[in-house]
Structure 1
């Protein structure tokens, strides 16, 4: 089974966050632990994630918030790393916080792997329009969760089996020949995946 690397954002993903739940309930998932999740440093976070990818080649990355932006940075700046797919949940705009400004600008390069951006219409960290624009730039599918806030504990996302469903559908697209990869379905009802 392909390893899933869970990439948290600012301040980590302690219980009852869905990322913590996922790492605890999925034997093929590993949480990426950053040395200081409260003071993110792009270079240190990138080196930490790169080390995890080298230990788990061909993994699927599942990032939330700043973790999603970190994954985009990795794909743009570390093209030699073996990453199979990326799931970017509720990406956070670094311009929205002084604690995140060093993660600017957000890379706009096209990803060469299957990817999905999971976004919400009332996310305080990034507008749905900006998330849609990034998904288009990255050549990633856009999954509309409706009104799901920042897809975190405050928005009601503790255990989130729907996240694993999204990952499984993304994993099904990992084929040897990129031309044969089926597209991620665009019309997945958000109620199926939101708080399943």
Structure 2
């Protein structure tokens, strides 16, 4: 369970997280949770997505633990590359799951996103765990390792887990919940 003073902040990726996605299930299961809402889930714009994340964090009282998936994880990296140190101090940690390689040509061609490349590889100003799959169609495991190293995040090998979403068999994703708890209790 989460502490009463910690808000779980869900940061979905492209097309939002549907009703059976682990993010949605976690959000429903934790009484102190919020979801970053984007104006356009179909055509992500980095500046708009980062602004929505910043506004949501600013609207939360107390500390925050972030659970970000896919392009949501990339959004967190871009937000953290900014200069809002007051907001960063309130972030207890971030679970960054299956970030796509927004610099890879086939990913850029598949996702109609704007402005997410180049990806900042600056050390995050809060503890982070990056979970990557060896069979993610949007990011090679070695590249995810580069992200983790740049961000100062602990890299967790999810094995052959696809994009770590419902299509790859990840509903409630209890292994992810255990990782989230390590950030909550840190």
Aligned residue pair count: 173
User: Which structure has more RCO (C-alpha within 8 Å, separation ≥ 6)?
Assistant: 2
Q: 2:83 and 2:132 mapped to 1: Cα distance?
A: 25
Choose the corresponding residue for 1:33, options 7, 29, 37: 37
Q: Deviations over 1:65-110 (max 9, x none)?
A: 0000000111111442232211100001123124135200111111
Q: 1:17 to 1:62 in 2, by over 3 A?
A: same
**How far apart are 1:152 and its partner, in Å?**
0.7
TM-score after normalising by structure 2: 0.88
User: How far apart are residue 165 of structure 1 and its match?
Assistant: 1.1
> For the residues of structure 2 that align with 1:21 and 1:6, how far apart are their CA atoms?
11
Deviation at 1:26, TM superposition (A): 1.2
Q: Residue 140 of structure 1 corresponds to which residue in structure 2?
A: 153
- Structure 1 match to 2:69: 64
In 2: Cα distance, 1:54 partner to 1:101 partner = 24
- Length-normalised TM-score, structure 1: 0.84
- The aligned runs of 1:14-93 (5 Å cut-off) are 14-56=18-60, 57-80=62-85, 81-82=87-88, 83-93=91-101
Q: Would the aligned equivalents of 1:94 and 1:102 in 2 still touch at CA under 8 Å?
A: no
Which blocks of at least 5 consecutive residues in structure 2 are unaligned?
Answer: none
Gaps of 5+ in 1: 174-196
